[in-house]
Amino acid sequence: MPDIDVTDWTLVVEGLVERPLRLDMDAVLALGTERLPAFHECFGSPFAPDVPTRAVAQVEWAGVPLAVLLDRAVPLAEARHVWFEGADTGSFQGQDGLTYVKDLPLSVARGDVFLAHRMNGEPLRAEHGFPLRAVVPRMFGTNSVKWLTRIVLADRRADGVFTTQFYNRVLPGDSAPSPVREVDVSSKLFVPGEGDELPAGVAELSGRAWSTTEIVGVDVSVDGGAWEAAEVEAPGSGPTWQRFSLMRELAPGPHRIRCRARDLAGRVQPLDGARNSVHEVGVEVGLNRRTG
């Protein structure tokens, strides 16, 4: 994690542009501030692309769309890709002197990428990418480069290890690997949590679901029984997750609870064997204290 003094920090926009830019933080703030509520999901280890992590949160970012800077820099006609480089350097898997570089097609970057300097109403903390980071909604966090210092427009993809060697996977139905970008359709139970003890009776089973598009349904199953449709809240104004809930009678004893989401594109969470396989929690239900 780099130790950055914001008074010395600058962001460079260069490569295939008519007007290269160099901005300090005052210049970034002068571009105006917009807000972006969005879910943010970590992909996890590039060496375990099929292992579920479910490391996800809802965040309100504040900053400026990348398109504002691109309009000022004016990409040349031959520009096809945008590279994002962070200030973090080091060694990884026996390779020294690396910097963290990711890339996106220019058409995607212009429409989706957000440059954030605040998170949940506060300035970015060092661990979250201070003083400026890229945010790519609906894509795994590996694409949202932290400690951003350099944006390059190019006619080809970046050839760094984090684009060509790591963070690639073979998607269902494909034979060749593709970059880890768009998130999978997923859901996670928040209430109850793993190992919770509940009184007997009606319990609320709730959580969040998210995808690249709207979640149109979430089903919940108890102890391997039939899938029951949960109530799903409408999507928010941005690329946000959606809350789901189901009120369910639970008898005394141990129970396993699972949830499974489906999205507008027709994708459904697999039962197992994938990083977005259905989430399951175990709970223990005791006697209702009010009734003995």
Q: What is the model's pTM? A: 0.93
CB neighbourhood size of 139 (10 A): 24
Bridge-based pairing of strands 168-169 and 178-179 is antiparallel
Q: When comparing pLDDT for 165 and 14, which is higher?
A: 14
User: Is the separation of the CB atoms in 174 and 99 below 8 Å?
Assistant: no
Find the mean pLDDT for residues 115-134. 97
Task: State the DSSP H helix or E strand holding residue 181, giving kind and residue range, or none if neither.
Answer: none
pLDDT, residue 171, reads 84
Angstrom distances, CA of residue 90 to CA of 2, 43, 93, 143, 276 = 10, 21, 10, 18, 30
Round to whole Å and give the CA distance between 134 and 69.
13
Tens of pLDDT, residues 168-217: 988 878 888 899 999 999 999 999 999 999 999 999 999 999 999 999 99
Scanning 21-136, the segments in alpha helix (DSSP H) are 25-29, 66-73, 106-112
* Residue 290 pLDDT grade (very low, low, confident, very high; cuts 50, 70, 90): very low
Tens of pLDDT, residues 243-289: 999 999 999 999 999 999 999 999 999 999 889 999 999 999 997 65
Nearest residue to 63 (alpha-carbon basis) of 8, 150, 137, 134: 134
- Please say if the pLDDT value at position 39 is more than 50: yes
pLDDT, averaged across the chain: 95
Percent of the chain with pLDDT over 70: 98
Bridge-based pairing of strands 197-199 and 215-222 is unpaired
* Residue 24 pLDDT grade (very low, low, confident, very high; cuts 50, 70, 90): very high
pLDDT, residue 261, reads 98
User: Is the separation of the CB atoms in 34 and 117 below 8 Å?
Assistant: no
Percent of the chain with pLDDT over 90: 87
**Encoding tokens for residue 195?**
């190992």
Amino acid identity of 19?
R
pLDDT, residue 273, reads 87
Helix-then-strand count for the chain, H and E: 4, 21
pLDDT, residue 292, reads 42
- 3-class SS at 219? strand
> Which 3-state string (H, E, C) describes 34-97?
EEEEEEEECCCCCCCCCCCCCCEEEEEEEEEEHHHHHHHHCECCCCCEEEEEEEEEEEECCEEE
pLDDT, residue 288, reads 62
Round to whole Å and give the CA distance between 210 and 237.
14
- Please say if the pLDDT value at position 86 is more than 60: yes
